[in-house]
Amino acid sequence: MSGKKRNRQRVNRQRAAALAARDAKRKAARRRVILIGGGAVAVLVIVFGIVLTRGGGDDKTKLDTTKSTSKVAEGTTTTAPALPSAAGKPCVAMTDPLPAGAPAVPVEVGPPPTQLIKKDLKEGTGAVVGATDTVTANYIGVSCSTGKIFDASYSRGQPASFALNQVIKGWTDGLPGMKVGGQRLLGIPADQAYGAEGRPPSIAPNEALWFVVEITATKPA
């Protein structure tokens, strides 16, 4: 074999080796890209999964909170502590200081009223209150078993207006016949007030109530 032929063969082998090495490097580079890309996807999937899991937990908490709020709105649950029933407890004298301008409430100390009590403390001289009138009145209310004031228009500095067919039965039945300018004591049994449910947090279940009501105006329905 001539020297020229051997040289050509050697050059061809070197070129082939160089091409093979270059192809190997390219394949290795492609494998690295695939591995890195696959790892990044895996990391993203894991991170996204964690975020979804945490997000799911937050959404569940919010959903539970919404349900709880709905229950409160529907009156099936309440955050206020339950008050003990006042059933059978005697009435005690008023214990709270009077708001400015409010009359004393002469609670009848002893067994709670079982029938509506109506006593005129001051006779009015104006129009007579009808059974379905809308009246304007100042009032102060006291719980029988505690002697505490639970509401008073005098604390707000102005009378309240209300239709007699939209209030507790003790007022619906207890105020007609009064005259404007008059004051009346009402002793209201629990079943004519807020009954077994009461009105938390100020009025216990089965609580009898005492009021002094002063009529300042009345308007027929």
How is the chain split into domains, by residue range?
1-79, 117-219
Q: What is the spatial distance between Cα 47 and Cα 55, in angstroms, rounded to a whole number?
A: 12
Q: Is 154 noted as a catalytic residue in this protein?
A: no
Residue 13 has a pLDDT of 72
- Of 96, 150, 162, 173, the catalytic one is 150
| Residue 159 and residue 166 in contact, taking contact as beta carbons nearer than 8 Å | no
- Of 133, 140, 188, 211, the catalytic one is 211
128 pLDDT band, cuts 50/70/90, is: very high
Task: Give the pair of three-digit tokens for residue 37.
Answer: 């890309």
Q: Is 211 noted as a catalytic residue in this protein?
A: yes
| Residue 212 and residue 95 in contact, taking contact as beta carbons nearer than 8 Å | no
Q: Say whether pLDDT at 177 is over 80.
A: yes
68 pLDDT band, cuts 50/70/90, is: very low
- Of 96, 151, 162, 173, the catalytic one is 151
Q: Is 194 noted as a catalytic residue in this protein?
A: yes
Q: Is 162 noted as a catalytic residue in this protein?
A: no
Residue 11 has a pLDDT of 62
pTM: 0.64
**218 class by beta-carbon count within 10 Å (0-12 exposed, 13-18 middle, 19+ buried):** buried
Q: Say whether pLDDT at 65 is over 50.
A: no
221 pLDDT band, cuts 50/70/90, is: confident
Range name among 34-38, 63-67, 82-86, 216-220 with the lowest pLDDT average: 63-67
Q: 117-219 is classed in which CATH architecture?
A: Roll (3.10)
Residue 215 has a pLDDT of 98
Q: What is the spatial distance between Cα 29 and Cα 110, in angstroms, rounded to a whole number?
A: 98
Residue 39 has a pLDDT of 44
**138 class by beta-carbon count within 10 Å (0-12 exposed, 13-18 middle, 19+ buried):** buried
- Of 133, 139, 188, 215, the catalytic one is 139
Mean pLDDT over each residue of the chain, to the nearest integer: 79
Q: Is 151 noted as a catalytic residue in this protein?
A: yes
- Of 133, 140, 149, 194, the catalytic one is 194
pLDDT, greater one: 22 or 145: 145
Of the candidates 62, 107, 70, the one whose C-alpha atom is nearest the C-alpha of residue 89 is 107
